[in-house]
Amino acid sequence: MLSRTADNLYWLARYMERADFLARILQATRRLATLPKAYGGAETEWESALLSSGAAPAFHAAGLPVDEANVTDFLAFSPDNPSSIRNCIELARANARAVRTALTVEMWEAINGAYLELKAFGQRGGRSSEDLTRFLDVVKQVSAAYDGGAHRTMLRNDAYWFSRVGLYIERADNTARLLDVKYHVLLPDSEAVGGSLDYFQWTAILRAVSAHTAYHWVYRDSLKPWLVADLLILRPEMPRSLIACYESVVQNLDRLGKSHGRHGPAQRHGRAVLGQLENATIESVFHKGLHEFIQTFIADNHRLGALVSEQYLF
Amino acid sequence: MLSKAAQFDEMGGVDGVTRLPYEKLSKWLSSVEPEFLASRRAQAELLFRRIGITFAVYGSQEATERLIPFDILPRIIARAEWAQLEKGLVQRVKALNLFLGDLYGPGEILRAGVVPSELVYRNPAFRPEMAGRRVPHDIFVHIAGIDIIRTDDDGFYVLEDNARTPSGVSYMLENREVLMRLLPDLFALHRVAPIENYPDQLLATLRSAAPRSAGADPVSVLLTPGQYNSAFYEHSFLADKLGVELVEGRDLFVKDDVVFMRTTEGPRRVDVIYRRIDDDFLDPLAFRPDSALGVAGLMGAYHAGNVTLANAVGTGVADDKAIYTYMPEVIRFYLGEEPLLKNVPTWRCREPEALAYVLEHLDELVVKEVNGSGGYGMLVGPHATRAQIADFAVKLAANPTNFIAQPTLALSTCPVSVERGVAPRHVDLRPFVLYGPNGASVVPGGLTRVAMTENSLVVNSSQGGGTKDTWIIDDAPARA
């Protein structure tokens, strides 16, 4: 397939996934911010949201005070934030338009629907809290419809594999960033430090990745911060865990390698990262230092993106 | 016959008696509630918006993507009427191809004095780069869109030939799909010639036009200027239906006079380029050096006979509005036949007597730039203000060679579903002709364009015109 098409599909998948993640972060933060200060419901939550989404430097450059209204607007609607939901959807649609031929009708309709919804929301002007709730739900639905459309209707060829590689690299990055911002509440000694007050922080993390119920099914235990970390890093049955993302990345890269007749640096690097995750235990992760572990992962994941570009996208 | 007196409606004729092809539609219309039509109109709009069928309008900032209005009532032509039209279209495209081969070859028609040389050689669309060059299979125009208007029962006129990169065929195809979803009952009353095989025929035409140096399985691509082009939707739609890559200039490169595309598996040879970008932008080395849309070295590969461009370079000289006036003579010259389709009588403003007449009668004529398209820069005399006419007269007198004038034709009308029921609106027709080494084919029907505003004669989509599904129906009435 055309290299440009592959590039577009790869980024299209990343933007759709990022829009979904931003919606989740906003929802989780809104919930957390309503708690009394003693329970962790501080203004710092909005700072955390900025950090998780990687938008903190751009936000602070604009010089706005960190509060709910400003951060929500910046993450959801700001044209000045390159990674706002609005820009993600607009970029996704621009990419989709350029590769209409590689998308199925279902996928296009999902993206175009998101775009129309965004326009309609922009035109209504006033943004009540209720409007925002609805909007964030729509973003998640659209992302699910796109993902499901791809899964159910796309031919299993390189177009599909490239878009899946993009999706999982982005998802791994999002989970890793979420963990990195909250790593301090996940350290084993934090239970002693913060007592049960951090409980709400842990649930917020789980909610952001739709894993609140999953946690209980996997561990059959009350919330323990190290288990939250275990779930999101090392549990293959948890679809947003780093290891699950990398199993999928490797699987799709392998198919690409097979159809192109050779494996390259991208396949080898992907396997190496997966290998590290497979061999790790949550104890070894904490021993190395959660923060350092995640920082290394984020860099490795970024490097994989670069290798894919080099190898296939010219 | 071209007078404004008798307004011909394709359903009601001139006397209000329903014409045969429209009998069932007319009966059906009187049986449905106005609310039904309104709800179907709303559904159609929703469908088009969701599929994302849009058209970019240049110079309109707030709406870079706009929907082309779609009318839900079909335009109906009987098979016998169509058969005549079809023959005339094939004849015309055959002549256009011979004409172009001659203009860039021996130039017999010029030496015979049938067409003035300066109209060809001083024409901005004439490509000196092509002089003396043969093109694969000697075919210049693979895809033609011939604009047709109707004035009465058997009066079909050619308004314009489009031999460069005629657009609109995606709307023809989508209109049919949408209408089949919206009005299945109306379809059930008729036997409508299918058009869905057009993409297959187009692909077959492109493949058959591949250069002889191509392998047994030639690779075709569709070359687009990119997603900001007004017709991008159509480009992506067609590439999809054809199953060929939709490429931009930057996806292609030329090495040793062979064209390649950049793929994830490395370079791949390209044999046929269905190009939807203008000559000027094809190759920055040969034409506009500032073009970022084209492919450097493409003309070298073309001249080496390693790639087919559809349509060929330089076809614009044949669809020029000044050359148009000579088409009847062109057909006689190459085919020795009488033209089956009439030309609209036209004053060539380059001729002094004609210019004098046109300047006298600006208020009743339509004056067009010979190289214009899309309805830009034209004057519709009867609808223009005094000031507009005066301004235009200055423009015209300053550069008469640049203009032609035609009477304001009594374009036929068709029933259109509007806010308040059903009303007649003016229409034209763009049938699409495919022409390859194995012969010609015409997709039954084509794109009907509608002037959505009452009494308006301007059907161009860039000027707010709409479209309709076009049915060629069997003459023998189907059992209801």
Supply the DSSP string of A108-167, one letter for each residue.
HHHHHHHHHHHHHHHHT----HHHHHHHHHHHHHHHHHHHHHHHHHS-SSHHHHHHHHHH
Distance separating alpha carbons of residues A187 and A290, to the nearest angstrom: 8
Query: How far is A111 from chain B, CA to nearest CA, in Å?
Result: 10
The confidence score (pLDDT) of residue B2 equals: 45
Query: How far is A3 from chain B, CA to nearest CA, in Å?
Result: 5
Quote the crossing angle between the two packed helices A129-153 and A105-123, to the nearest 10°.
170
Rounded to the nearest 5 percent, the helix, strand and coil shares of chain B are 35, 25, 40
**Could you tell me the two tokens for B40?**
């179907």
Nearest to B50 among A5, A112, A158 (CB): A112
Q: Nearest residue of B to residue A117 by CA position? A: B50
- Which residue would you say has higher pLDDT here, B452 or A195? B452
Decide if B236 and A101 are in contact by the 8 Å CB cutoff.
Answer: yes
User: Which of the residues A99, A100, A112 would you substitute to probe the B interface, choosing the one with the greatest number of B C-beta atoms within 10 Å?
Assistant: A100
Q: Which of A39-48, A196-205, B120-129 has the lowest mean pLDDT?
A: A39-48
Q: Which of B318-327, B339-348, B409-418, B459-468 has the lowest mean pLDDT?
A: B459-468
The answer to whether residue B240 neighbours chain A at the CB level (below 8 Å) is yes
| Residues of chain B contacting A162 with CB distance shorter than 8 Å | 264
Binned at pLDDT 50, 70 and 90, residue B265 comes out as confident
- As a whole number, mean pLDDT of residues B422-431 equals 94
- Which residue would you say has higher pLDDT here, B86 or A198? B86
Decide if B245 and A2 are in contact by the 8 Å CB cutoff.
Answer: yes
Distance separating alpha carbons of residues A146 and A117, to the nearest angstrom: 15
Kindly report, residue by residue over B61-76, the tens digit of the pLDDT: 444 566 788 999 999 9
- Which residue would you say has higher pLDDT here, A120 or B223? B223
Say what percent of chain B tops pLDDT 90. 66
Distance separating alpha carbons of residues B402 and B404, to the nearest angstrom: 7
The confidence score (pLDDT) of residue B409 equals: 78
Distance separating alpha carbons of residues B100 and B126, to the nearest angstrom: 10
| B86, B442 contact by CB (below 8 A) | yes
**Could you tell me the two tokens for B262?**
């950049």
Distance set, CA B73 to CA B25, B67, B187, B373 (Å): 9, 18, 11, 27
**Could you tell me the two tokens for B426?**
């003016």
The alpha carbon of B250 is separated from its chain's Cα centroid by a whole number of angstroms, namely: 27
Query: How far is A138 from chain B, CA to nearest CA, in Å?
Result: 16
Query: How far is A91 from chain B, CA to nearest CA, in Å?
Result: 13
| Residues of chain B contacting A5 with CB distance shorter than 8 Å | 245-246
Count chain A–chain B contacts defined by CB atoms under 8 A.
59
Number of H helices, E strands in chain A: 16, 0
Decide if A3 and B50 are in contact by the 8 Å CB cutoff.
Answer: no
Quote the crossing angle between the two packed helices A3-33 and A158-186, to the nearest 10°.
30
Residue B57 pLDDT exceeds 50: no
Q: Which of A182-191, A210-219, B144-153, B406-415 has the lowest mean pLDDT?
A: A182-191
Residue A189 pLDDT exceeds 80: no
| B167, B62 contact by CB (below 8 A) | no
DSSP code string of B4-69: SSS--BTTTBTTTPPPGGGHHHHHHHHHS-HHHHHHHHHHHHHHHHHHT--B--TT-SS-SSBPPP
Q: Is B192 exposed, middle or buried (0-12, 13-18, 19+ CB in 10 A)?
A: buried
Kindly report, residue by residue over A141-166, the tens digit of the pLDDT: 999 999 999 999 999 999 999 999 99
Amino acid (1-letter code) at residue A38: A
| Residues of chain A contacting B250 with CB distance shorter than 8 Å | 4
Distance separating alpha carbons of residues A44 and A22, to the nearest angstrom: 17
Q: Nearest residue of A to residue B229 by CA position? A: A98
Binned at pLDDT 50, 70 and 90, residue A188 comes out as low
Quote the crossing angle between the two packed helices A44-52 and A158-186, to the nearest 10°.
150
Amino acid (1-letter code) at residue B456: S
Indicate the pairing of strand B258-263 with strand B143-152: unpaired
Q: Which of A210-214, B40-44, B244-248, B305-309 has the lowest mean pLDDT?
A: A210-214
The answer to whether residue B122 neighbours chain A at the CB level (below 8 Å) is no
Report the length, in residues, of chain A: 314
The answer to whether residue B23 neighbours chain A at the CB level (below 8 Å) is no
Decide if A97 and B226 are in contact by the 8 Å CB cutoff.
Answer: no
Decide if A4 and B246 are in contact by the 8 Å CB cutoff.
Answer: no
The confidence score (pLDDT) of residue A47 equals: 87
Nearest to B239 among A101, A109, A158 (CB): A101
Q: Nearest residue of A to residue B228 by CA position? A: A98
The residues of A whose Cβ lies within 8 A of any Cβ of B are 1-6, 94, 97-101, 105, 108-109, 112-113, 116, 158, 162, 256, 260-261, 312-314
- HEC profile of B308-335: EEECCCCCHHHHCHHHHCCHHHHHHHHH
Q: Nearest residue of B to residue A100 by CA position? A: B236
| Residues of chain A contacting B52 with CB distance shorter than 8 Å | 97, 100, 108, 112
Residue B3 pLDDT exceeds 70: no
The answer to whether residue B250 neighbours chain A at the CB level (below 8 Å) is yes
- As a whole number, mean pLDDT of residues B396-411 equals 87
The confidence score (pLDDT) of residue B54 equals: 60
Distance separating alpha carbons of residues B403 and B348, to the nearest angstrom: 7
- As a whole number, mean pLDDT of residues A285-299 equals 92
Residue B258: helix, strand or coil by DSSP?
strand
| Residues of chain A contacting B246 with CB distance shorter than 8 Å | 2, 5, 99-101
Q: Nearest residue of B to residue A103 by CA position? A: B240
Residue B340 pLDDT exceeds 60: yes
Decide if B262 and A6 are in contact by the 8 Å CB cutoff.
Answer: no
Distance set, CA A259 to CA A71, A102, B378 (Å): 44, 17, 55
Q: Which of A98-107, A280-289, B244-253, B372-381 has the lowest mean pLDDT?
A: B372-381
Cβ neighbours of residue A80 closer than 8 Å, sequence gap 6 or more: A58, A62, A74
Distance set, CA B267 to CA A99, A100, B78, B252 (Å): 19, 22, 49, 9
Distance separating alpha carbons of residues B278 and B223, to the nearest angstrom: 10
**Could you tell me the two tokens for B332?**
């006689």
Query: How far is B261 from chain A, CA to nearest CA, in Å?
Result: 7
Decide if A112 and B232 are in contact by the 8 Å CB cutoff.
Answer: no
Distance separating alpha carbons of residues A129 and A116, to the nearest angstrom: 20
Mean pLDDT, chain B, whole residue set: 89
| Residues of chain B contacting A113 with CB distance shorter than 8 Å | 50
Nearest to B264 among A99, A116, A158 (CB): A158
| Residues of chain A contacting B237 with CB distance shorter than 8 Å | 100
Query: How far is A110 from chain B, CA to nearest CA, in Å?
Result: 9
Kindly report, residue by residue over A216-238, the tens digit of the pLDDT: 889 988 888 889 999 999 999 99
Decide if B265 and A94 are in contact by the 8 Å CB cutoff.
Answer: no
Query: How far is A101 from chain B, CA to nearest CA, in Å?
Result: 5
| B76, B471 contact by CB (below 8 A) | yes
Q: Nearest residue of B to residue A95 by CA position? A: B227
Nearest to B240 among A94, A100, A256 (CB): A100
Q: Nearest residue of B to residue A159 by CA position? A: B264
Number of H helices, E strands in chain B: 16, 21
The confidence score (pLDDT) of residue A299 equals: 96
**Could you tell me the two tokens for B33?**
């509630």
Say what percent of chain B tops pLDDT 70. 93
The answer to whether residue B351 neighbours chain A at the CB level (below 8 Å) is no
Query: How far is B302 from chain A, CA to nearest CA, in Å?
Result: 22
User: Which of the residues A5, A8, A101 would you substitute to probe the B interface, choosing the one with the greatest number of B C-beta atoms within 10 Å?
Assistant: A101
**H/E run at residue B77:** strand B70-78
User: Which of the residues B65, B177, B264, B276 would you substitute to probe the A interface, choosing the one with the greatest number of A C-beta atoms within 10 Å?
Assistant: B264
Phi, psi (5° rounding) for residue A313?
Answer: -100, -5
The confidence score (pLDDT) of residue B53 equals: 64
Kindly report, residue by residue over B104-146, the tens digit of the pLDDT: 999 999 999 999 998 899 888 999 999 999 999 999 999 999 9
Query: How far is A277 from chain B, CA to nearest CA, in Å?
Result: 29
The alpha carbon of A63 is separated from its chain's Cα centroid by a whole number of angstroms, namely: 26
Report B:172-231 residues touching A (Cβ under 8 A): 226-227
**H/E run at residue B267:** strand B266-269
**H/E run at residue B178:** helix B169-182
Q: Is B81 exposed, middle or buried (0-12, 13-18, 19+ CB in 10 A)?
A: middle
Distance separating alpha carbons of residues A172 and B375, to the nearest angstrom: 53
The answer to whether residue B264 neighbours chain A at the CB level (below 8 Å) is yes
